[in-house]
Structure 1
């Protein structure tokens, strides 16, 4: 007959706390070797990076493959709460293994979305962050549905992240809503893209300029806005048409600004960047 334990099962939270407690003393003495990327981290943040790494590696050994900068981005996304950041990171790993098992999205998987040529990448802002421009009026739901669009979003984000130079972690985005109509309205797609950005690519968005937003678009925006986390909201700027170039020039040199906004660079489709 099977023996039934009379002791209460240990919760995952308890286990996490045990791991943190065991590593606390060690973390006090740890001085992380700085590769240049963590130089702006405080001593308290460095200790939490060490604590979080111990916790997530115990839960998923594949965590050993990621660098401290990624650990730090998840920590910062959860206001340095190690438990919350670890849960967020482990959720990301599970998603990554299932959604992108080969490590990347092939252009052949997202032909319809690429054919719409709705995202472009060129130039860098004054901080060295790559610039992407997305045209909402070029987005239409395609026959392959939501899953294909989500793969397109991952493809685009990976492209952007691959262009981020050493010493920088973010990109700048311009969302151009000119010509947008209800035919382009895709609430499920917008929310899916937002979820992927916030949950799986935290602390990657540096700033989002929304330009040429028509009145109709604001109705959809009101539906999306409650799902945007507070950290992301702080990075979003709606730009008045009459102040478009001057506002963009605050962050981007004219030599790096797209021609369509009064700059000198031509747009390059993201698949060709």
Structure 2
């Protein structure tokens, strides 16, 4: 998300012929070399992480989402700013978590019972930025009525489902928390803490933005408790209205039914 700063170029008097110079050619050649070397350097670092995981974490599985999954390794390298040691350690924890949590065993059938509450779902259409959309309906969440583990399984399953809808070349999803009708009975500090811990530790940089829609006054004390725990993710949160969701994040034919103006 870093800003790209354009190169400045000298202006020549249009009445005078330009003075020949090799500088632009030399700069172009250097830029091309830098661009062509980046994939080579990234590949080298991926192999370093792969070797480290194979050496230090032999017990971890291999294959998709395993210690030799090069696409996953590259993603964690980017998250850790290409620090091999940090990327390997964070990825090892993520792979262990996937094993212990049983992510590969999650399916539509395994979460069907709690999914019928309608508290969370993946929207059929992408947003205007071609991001899959995960919607949470806070007014349908009653932590005292459901087992915490079941809520966590539904959460992870929905994240996995959203990520499976990523178009080629896209890397992030949009999260929408529909807070209309939110009451104190819906407040669940532990679940929100779990959600952002999962996103930060195990799905880093997969969340593009989080929209808190029509948050009532009663929600704000909970937000003040949660905000310090979100770390960098706090900057991704936007408080907005249902109208904003409808007009800025979707086109007329793709607006979720819950946000349509009737």
Q: Find the aligned partners of 2:100 and 2:222 in 1 and give their Cα distance.
A: 31
Are 1:119 and 1:132, in contact at CA under 8 Å, matched by a contact in 2?
yes
Instruction: Write the mapping of 1:188-199 to structure 2, written as runs, cut at 5 A.
Output: 188-199=190-201
Say whether 1:55 aligns with 2:52: yes
**Which residue of the other structure, out of 143, 152, 155, is the alignment partner of 2:154?**
152
Match of 1:167 in 2: 169
Q: Find the aligned partners of 2:39 and 2:248 in 1 and give their Cα distance.
A: 29
**How far off its partner does 1:263 sit?**
7.2
Deviation per CA, 1:196-229: give whole Å up to 9, x if none: 2221111211211111101111100111111113
Are 1:210 and 1:238, in contact at CA under 8 Å, matched by a contact in 2?
yes
Match of 1:77 in 2: 79
**How far off its partner does 1:235 sit?**
2.0
**How far off its partner does 1:166 sit?**
2.2
Q: Find the aligned partners of 1:247 and 1:108 in 2 and give their Cα distance.
A: 30
Deviation per CA, 1:137-157: give whole Å up to 9, x if none: 111125552212111111111
**How far off its partner does 1:248 sit?**
5.1
Q: Find the aligned partners of 1:82 and 1:193 in 2 and give their Cα distance.
A: 26
Q: Find the aligned partners of 2:63 and 2:230 in 1 and give their Cα distance.
A: 30
Match of 2:253 in 1: 255
Query: With CA pairs under 8 Å and 6+ residues apart, which has the higher RCO, 1 or 2?
Result: 1
Are 2:173 and 2:208, in contact at CA under 8 Å, matched by a contact in 1?
yes
For structure 2, list consecutive stretches of 5 or more residues without a partner in the other structure.
1-35
Q: Report the count of equivalent residues.
A: 220
Match of 1:119 in 2: 120
**How far off its partner does 1:85 sit?**
1.8
Change in Cα spacing, 1:248 to 1:234, as seen in structure 2 (3 Å) is farther
Instruction: Write the mapping of 1:25-36 to structure 2, written as runs, cut at 5 A.
Output: none
Change in Cα spacing, 1:246 to 1:115, as seen in structure 2 (3 Å) is closer
**TM-score, length-scaled by structure 1:** 0.71
RMSD over aligned CA atoms reads 2.6
**Which residue of the other structure, out of 203, 211, 214, is the alignment partner of 1:212?**
214
Q: Secondary structure at the match of 1:237?
A: strand
Deviation per CA, 1:99-157: give whole Å up to 9, x if none: 107x1314454355212111232211233211222111111125552212111111111
For structure 1, list consecutive stretches of 5 or more residues without a partner in the other structure.
1-38, 265-273
Instruction: Write the mapping of 1:170-185 to structure 2, written as runs, cut at 5 A.
Output: 170-185=172-187
Range 55-64 or range 78-87, more displaced: 55-64
Match of 1:21 in 2: none
Say whether 1:129 aligns with 2:131: yes
